Amino acid sequence: MDQERDPRALWDPILDPPTRRHVVHLGNRRITLVADNYGRCDLFDEHTGLRWLTRGTGVSRIGELSTAGSTAERLFGPTFAVVRVADERVSLERTVLCPEGEQPWVLIRLRVRNLTGEPVRLALTEEWESRPADVRLISGPVPAADPGLELELLGGERTRSGRLTVTLDLETETIVEFRYGLLAEGTAGFEGAAGFEESLGKLVARLPRAHAVQAPEAEREIPWHAALLTGGACADGVLGGHTLDQGSCYSFRHGFNGAARDPLQHALPLVYTEPDLALSVLRNTCAWGSPDGDLPYALRPDKSPWTDLFRPSDQNLWALWLGVEYLAATGDVRAFGEAVPYHPVHAAEAVPLGENLRRQFRFFADVVGRGEHGHMRMLNADWNDLAISMSGVPREEMIEHGESVLNSAMAAWVLPRYAALAERLGDHATGAEARKLGEELRDLVAGEWNGRWFRRAYGPGAVVGEDDLWLEVQP
């Protein structure tokens, strides 16, 4: 559509003024490419902290012909974005690709075609503007020091200025390739045009396929969603493994990676498509925690634990579930004997993954614990961050004594399956305890059906959801 005049192109981000800029977030296992409908790019990296490398940049020019603007033809792929422009002399196709793997840079492939029928000499300019910004907790992005961004003509010059010009003596067609990003951190294993095709080949090979007669759109939707899911992964240079941040206003604007449940649930489908990444996310998120089995609500921009906002009571269940799902699908028992560190702030010895999960079960059973009615306690949030304030019970009383039917229901499903994992690892005592607790909670949840729906929670002298239908607990 016409981005500038069509009223449908205008939308309200709520946190910012209305805009006609639309973006898609793509990536590999290290870098995030935010490609927009004006042909420009943002780059985001959270290897050691939450930071924007660039904002709204990346342009190719031949004379007056530019890839930046709302009139170019645009195509968004699973890990790349394409812009096509042309005038009476030349056509220019620009592809910005996140190479497969953990490369902290993007590849820019320019296909230039001569439309005149006669040899021409052209000056081709590739230009990126470094606009680094660190994301501060709540206050948002603030200007930061240049992290060392470089632009390189493959097979030629490399510069920190972000601008390179190449003279082309063009008869019919040629391809020119650049790289831009943190080139000093990782350039091995990528060889120009062959590397571009190899990267696309690996992409095709790893993305799941789908076919359904009743839903033909699945053929495109499934690989697309899988690519965007994995494109949110980033190798963690502080805790190891990969984080799978939910992004959105949480990381990109407010500066925290949270809640811990999010990467854990995001990784669940990866157990069946990219199990190595699912395991890496499980190990990384378990490393957020403390030796007593507690997982913090979130990590701050510098990856330190953030514990003074919410203290949700459900997060251990997501770790146990992902561990169970991984073992059930892969049979990889050995992974649970490999050591996982605790967050450096605790100065604690690493323990095997299986032991880390056992301590998380202990925290859930002993510290979260159960309330007067036998349900799991809510603490100051269970999954719904506003369940306390919307319960109608005084806040402090609800935090101290509130019980969550939602968490009891989830535990009733997760804990018997965790029991099977514990038993397979030889811990029959923990397995028996988890199974018993899960079965007791299942019976309690069944009793919460009031003839119309399931109740939501309990507080001191109060039943939440007796007269009000809380949708989230029903599934």
The pLDDT of residue 356: 98
pTM score: 0.95
Tens of pLDDT, residues 281-329: 999 999 999 999 999 999 999 999 999 888 999 999 999 999 999 999 9
Tens of pLDDT, residues 213-248: 999 999 999 999 999 999 999 999 999 999 999 998
Q: Residue range 361-370: average pLDDT?
A: 98
- Please give the residue that has the higher pLDDT: either 113 or 192: 113
Q: How far apart are the first and last CA of the chain?
A: 39
Tens of pLDDT, residues 238-284: 999 999 999 988 999 999 999 999 999 999 999 999 999 999 999 99
At residue 337, does pLDDT exceed 80? yes
The pLDDT of residue 118: 95
Identify the H or E element spanning 463.
strand 462-464
At residue 194, does pLDDT exceed 80? no
Q: What is the mean pLDDT of the chain?
A: 95
At residue 72, does pLDDT exceed 90? no
Share of the chain above pLDDT 70, in %: 98
Q: How far apart are CA 238 and CA 253, in angstroms?
A: 21
The pLDDT of residue 348: 97
The pLDDT of residue 190: 63
pLDDT band at 2 (very low <50, low <70, confident <90, very high): confident
For the chain, domains (ranges, CATH) are 7-206 (2.70.98), 218-473 (1.50.10.10)
DSSP states of 346-372 = G----EEHHHHHHHHHHIIIIII-B-T
E strand map for 274-321: 298-299, 305-306
DSSP states of 158-196 = EESSSEEEEEEEESSEEEEEEEEE-GGG--TT--HHHHH
Instruction: Pick the range with the lowest mean pLDDT from 66-75, 187-196, 395-404.
Output: 187-196
The pLDDT of residue 87: 94
At residue 187, does pLDDT exceed 90? no
Q: How far apart are CA 177 and CA 103, in angstroms?
A: 16
Q: Residue range 117-129: average pLDDT?
A: 96
- Please give the residue that has the higher pLDDT: either 191 or 274: 274
Q: How far apart are CA 285 and CA 268, in angstroms?
A: 13
User: Reduced to 3 states, what is the DSSP secondary structure of residue 317?
Assistant: helix
Nearest Cα neighbor of 355 from 412, 305, 426 is 426
